[in-house]
C-alpha cells in the first residue's frame, strides 16, 4: 500500500511539556515518527513532527486523518500554540545529493552577509534544510545544513561571497567524516601565540627590522624557509642563553588558545604543535598546555651563548607535513582524521596533507589553498568548524569548575 507523510508544525510561546503532549496524542494513531525538529528562539517555539502512515488516511484504533487533526488542534489550543498540518505522497524522504555543513562566522554578522550566502546556495540548486546558531559572542557563528550541492562548486561560490561580505565561510561534508577528526596539528608563531618568536629574540639582539623583513618574505612564499631561517638565526649570534627565559615571559597566547586545547583534550583529541621556531621556547608551551606532540628547530648554544646556527634537520614546509604524518602514525590516527591549522606559506604542505586544512588569519596564498579560513582573532572559533557550540564548551567548563573562557 502507498505510504504517505503528514507534517505537523506547532509554533508559539515555549513551555514545559509541549513535546510530550504532542507525542502522547500521536500515540493514539497508527503512525510512525519519520523526523522531528525543534527550535526555541527567545522563548518562541517551533516544533515540527513528520509522521508516516500507510493508506489514504491513518485509520485504525485512533480513527481517521480528520480525527488526528482534531486531536492535535485541541492540544495546540490548550497549550496556546498555533498549528499547521500538511500531507505528502512521497513513499520515503528523498535523499538529496551532497549533504553539507556550511559554517558562517562574522564579528559582527550582518543580514547582507546571510542574504548573499543563502542566495548563492539557492542559485546553486541546493536547499537549506536547517539553520542553527553555534555562538553569539564574541563571534557570531551560524551553521546551515545544506543538501543538493556539489561541495567543491559550492565552496568556490561561497568563497567569493565571503570575501565580498567580509565574513568567514567553511563548507564540509556532513556525517562521520566531519566528526571523526581526532588529531589537531597547529603552527605556533602567529597562530597559537601572537608573535613570531624569532622576532622577539631579534628585538633583544638589536636586529628586529632586518629579521622581520626576511620573515615576511618567507611567509609570503617569496623566499625558501630554510634559507630564510639560516639568515635570521645568524643575526642572533652572541645572544646569551638567558635570553630564552626573558622571551618566554613575553610570549602571549592567541585569545581562545587555552579554550581550544582544553575542549579538544576533553573530547579525547590529540594535540600537536609544529614550528619553524625553537624548542627552547616551544617546550614550555607543551608543558603549559598539555600538548601531546611537538616538533621545532633547536638553536645551537655553546658556552652559554647562541652561535647563530641551528642544530639538526630544519623543520620547514616539508618538515611540518612529515611531522603531521609522524604524529598521526604514533597516535594510530589516519590522515583523513587530522586537522592542520596555520597562517604562512610554510604551513601549506601540512594543510594539504590533513583531512581538514584551516587557514587562521593567514596570508592570501594560504587562505586560497585551505579547506576553511578563519579571520577573526579568536582561536577557539575553530571549535565551531568541528560542530562544537559555545554553549557546549561553557557547560563543560562549568561542570569542571573552570572559567568559561580564557579571553
User: Which residues carry out catalysis?
Assistant: 187, 189
- C-alpha 319/C-alpha 128 separation (Å) is 41
- C-alpha 142/C-alpha 134 separation (Å) is 6
Q: Could you give phi then psi for residue 378, rounded to 5 degrees?
A: -120, 115
DSSP-derived 3-state class of residue 345: helix
- C-alpha 246/C-alpha 31 separation (Å) is 70
Grid cell listed for 213: 623583513
Cβ atoms < 10 Å from Cβ of 120: 20
Beta bridge partners of 342: 359
- C-alpha 341/C-alpha 326 separation (Å) is 16
**Exposure of 110 in the CB half-sphere (CA atoms within 13 A):** 8
Burial class (CB in 10 A: 0-12, 13-18, 19+), 220: middle
Amino acid at each position: 500500500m502507498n505510504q504517505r507523510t503528514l507534517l505537523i508544525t506547532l509554533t508559539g510561546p515555549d513551555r514545559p511539556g509541549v513535546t510530550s503532549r504532542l507525542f502522547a496524542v500521536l500515540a493514539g494513531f497508527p503512525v510512525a515518527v519519520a523526523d522531528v525538529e525543534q527550535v526555541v528562539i527567545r522563548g518562541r517555539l517551533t516544533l515540527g513532527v513528520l509522521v508516516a502512515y500507510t493508506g489514504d488516511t491513518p485509520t485504525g484504533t485512533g480513527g481517521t486523518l480528520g480525527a488526528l487533526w482534531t486531536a492535535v488542534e485541541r492540544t495546540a489550543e490548550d497549550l496556546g500554540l498555533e498549528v499547521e498540518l500538511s500531507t505528502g505522497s512521497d513513499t520515503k524522504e528523498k535523499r538529496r545529493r551532497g549533504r553539507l555543513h556550511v559554517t558562517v562566522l562574522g564579528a559582527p554578522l550582518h543580514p547582507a552577509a546571510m542574504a548573499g550566502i543563502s542566495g548563492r546556495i539557492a542559485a546553486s540548486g541546493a536547499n537549506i534544510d536547517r539553520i542553527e546558531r553555534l555562538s553569539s559572542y564574541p563571534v557570531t557563528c551560524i551553521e546551515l545544513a545544506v543538501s543538493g550541492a556539489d561541495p567543491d562548486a559550492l565552496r568556490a561560490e561561497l568563497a567569493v561571497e565571503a570575501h565580498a561580505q567580509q565574513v568567514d565561510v567553511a563548507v564540509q561534508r556532513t556525517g562521520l567524516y566531519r566528526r571523526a577528526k581526532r588529531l589537531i596539528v597547529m603552527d605556533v608563531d602567529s597562530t597559537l601565540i601572537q608573535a613570531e618568536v624569532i622576532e622577539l629574540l631579534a628585538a633583544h639582539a638589536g636586529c628586529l627590522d632586518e629579521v622581520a623583513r626576511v620573515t615576511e618574505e618567507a611567509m609570503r612564499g617569496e623566499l625558501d624557509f630554510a634559507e630564510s631561517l639560516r639568515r635570521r638565526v645568524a643575526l642572533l649570534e652572541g645572544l646569551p642563553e638567558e635570553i630564552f627565559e626573558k622571551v618566554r615571559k613575553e610570549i602571549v597566547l592567541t585569545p581562545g588558545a587555552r579554550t581550544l586545547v582544553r575542549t579538544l583534550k576533553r573530547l579525547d583529541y590529540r594535540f600537536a604543535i609544529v614550528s619553524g621556531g625553537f624548542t627552547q621556547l616551544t617546550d614550555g608551551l607543551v608543558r603549559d598546555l598539555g600538548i601531546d606532540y611537538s616538533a621545532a628547530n633547536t638553536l645551537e648554544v655553546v658556552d652559554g651563548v647562541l652561535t647563530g646556527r641551528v642544530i639538526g634537520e630544519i623543520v620547514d614546509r616539508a618538515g611540518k607535513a612529515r611531522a603531521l604524518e609522524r604524529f598521526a602514525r604514533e597516535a594510530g590516527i589516519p590522515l583523513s582524521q587530522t586537522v592542520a591549522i596555520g597562517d604562512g606559506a610554510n604551513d601549506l604542505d601540512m594543510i594539504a596533507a590533513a583531512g581538514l586544512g584551516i587557514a587562521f588569519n593567514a596570508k592570501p596564498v594560504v587562505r586560497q589553498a585551505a579547506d576553511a579560513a578563519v579571520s577573526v582573532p579568536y582561536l577557539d572559533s575553530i571549535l565551531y568548524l568541528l560542530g562544537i557550540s559555545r554553549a557546549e564548551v561553557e557547560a563543560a567548563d562549568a561542570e569542571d569548575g573552570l572559567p568559561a573562557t580564557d579571553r
